[in-house]
Amino acid sequence: MPCLRPLLSCSALRLIAGTLGLSFLFSLPGGSVAGAVERPASSVNEKLLAHQSVFQPPRLIRVSEHVVVAYGYTMSNIVMIEGDKGLFIFDTGMRVEKAELALAAFRKQTDKPILGIAYSHGHGDHTGGVRAFAPDGSAIPVYAHRNALRYLKDINSATSAVFRLRAVEQLGLILPEGIDGTIGSGGGPVVSMGGTVSYITPTHLFDEEVEIDLGGVIVRLFHAPGDLDDGIAAWIEKDGVLLTGDTVVGTHTYPILSTPRYEKGRSAEAYIASINHFRDFGARHLVGGHGLPVDGTENVAELIDRTHLVARYIMDETLRQINARKHPAEIAAHLRVPAHVMGNEAFEDYYHRLNWIVRGVYNKEMGWYSGDTLDLIALAPKEYASKLIAALGGSDATLAAAPQAYDAGEHRWAASLATQLLALDATNDAALSVKANALRAIAYQSDSANERNYLLSEADLMLGEVGLKVIAGQALSRESAFFTGPTIPDIAAAGPSSAFIQRLRIRADESKASDDALSVTFVITDRGETYPMTLTHGVMIHERPTLREADATLRLDHRALVLISDGHMPWEDVLDLPEVQVEGDNEKLHRFMNNLTWND
Contact mark string toward Zn ion, 255..294, x via CB under 5 A:
----------------------------------x-----
Q: Interface residues for Zn ion in 159-188 (CB under 5 A)?
A: none
For Zn ion, the closer CB: 39 or 95: 95
Is residue 45 close enough to count as binding Zn ion by CB under 5 A?
no
For Zn ion, the closer CB: 119 or 362: 119
| Strands (E) located in 36-100 | 59-64, 67-71, 78-82, 87-90
CA–CA distances in Å: residue 39 to residues 379, 402, 408, 435:
33, 14, 14, 11
Min CB(94)–Zn ion separation in Å: 9
Window of 27-35, 69-77, 91-99, 230-238 that interacts with Zn ion by CB under 5 A: 69-77
Count of CB atoms within 10 A of residue 578's CB? 6
Min CB(301)–Zn ion separation in Å: 23
Task: Please provide residue 556's backbone torsions phi and psi, each rounded to the nearest 5 degrees.
Answer: -150, 160
Closest Cα to residue 202, out of 141, 133, 265, 116?
Answer: 141
Q: Return the residue of 82, 100, 230, 246 that touches Zn ion, per CB under 5 A.
A: 246
Min CB(275)–Zn ion separation in Å: 16
Contact mark string toward Zn ion, 85..124, x via CB under 5 A:
----------------------------------------
Min CB(218)–Zn ion separation in Å: 25
Min CB(172)–Zn ion separation in Å: 15
Window of 76-84, 212-220, 482-490, 568-576 that interacts with Zn ion by CB under 5 A: 76-84
Min CB(185)–Zn ion separation in Å: 9
C-alpha 2/C-alpha 26 separation (Å) is: 7
Is 505 within 8 Å of 542 (Cβ atoms)? yes
C-alpha 54/C-alpha 32 separation (Å) is: 41
Closest Cα to residue 518, out of 586, 452, 467?
Answer: 586
For Zn ion, the closer CB: 143 or 351: 351
For Zn ion, the closer CB: 45 or 253: 253
Q: How many residues bind Zn ion (CB under 5 A)?
A: 4
C-alpha 52/C-alpha 33 separation (Å) is: 37
Burial, 232: exposed, middle or buried (Cβ in 10 Å; 0-12, 13-18, 19+)?
Answer: buried
Closest Cα to residue 411, out of 402, 422, 424, 399?
Answer: 402
3 state SS of 164: helix
Q: Interface residues for Zn ion in 324-353 (CB under 5 A)?
A: none
Please state whether the peptide bond connecting residue 57 to the residue before it is cis, i.e. omega within 30 degrees of 0: yes
Min CB(124)–Zn ion separation in Å: 9
For Zn ion, the closer CB: 317 or 349: 349
Window of 75-83, 84-92, 320-328, 451-459 that interacts with Zn ion by CB under 5 A: 75-83
Cβ-Cβ contacts under 8 Å for 255 (sequence gap 6 or more): 247, 248, 271, 272, 275, 307, 310, 311, 314, 347, 357
For Zn ion, the closer CB: 245 or 532: 245
Closest Cα to residue 494, out of 121, 230, 201?
Answer: 201
For Zn ion, the closer CB: 22 or 248: 248
Question: In b/e form, how buried is each residue of 239-274, taking b as 16+ CB within 10 angstroms?
Answer: bbbbbbbbbbbbbbbbbbbbbbbebebbbbebbbeb
C-alpha 349/C-alpha 45 separation (Å) is: 12
Min CB(490)–Zn ion separation in Å: 18
For Zn ion, the closer CB: 122 or 495: 122
C-alpha 245/C-alpha 230 separation (Å) is: 11
Q: Interface residues for Zn ion in 118-157 (CB under 5 A)?
A: 125
For Zn ion, the closer CB: 76 or 565: 76
C-alpha 25/C-alpha 2 separation (Å) is: 9
For Zn ion, the closer CB: 246 or 460: 246
Q: Interface residues for Zn ion in 293-322 (CB under 5 A)?
A: none
Contact mark string toward Zn ion, 189..228, x via CB under 5 A:
----------------------------------------
C-alpha 288/C-alpha 243 separation (Å) is: 6
Q: Return the residue of 52, 74, 76, 497 that touches Zn ion, per CB under 5 A.
A: 76
Question: Hey, what amino acid is at 498?
Answer: S
For Zn ion, the closer CB: 177 or 246: 246
Number of H helices, E strands in the chain: 24, 18
Distance of CA 37 to the CA centre of its chain: 31
For Zn ion, the closer CB: 8 or 173: 173
Min CB(107)–Zn ion separation in Å: 24
Cβ-Cβ contacts under 8 Å for 58 (sequence gap 6 or more): 70, 71, 72, 73, 101, 102, 189
Min CB(221)–Zn ion separation in Å: 17
For Zn ion, the closer CB: 82 or 125: 125
Min CB(341)–Zn ion separation in Å: 25
Min CB(130)–Zn ion separation in Å: 14
The C-alpha angle with vertex 58 and arms to 295 and 47, in degrees rounded to 5, equals: 75
Min CB(151)–Zn ion separation in Å: 13
For Zn ion, the closer CB: 249 or 402: 249
Min CB(71)–Zn ion separation in Å: 14
Q: Would you state the torsion angle of the CA atoms of residues 332, 333, 339, 345, taken in this order, to the nearest 10 degrees? A: 60
* Distance spanning both ends of the chain, measured CA to CA: 42
Per CB under 5 A, residues contacting Zn ion are: 76, 125, 246, 289
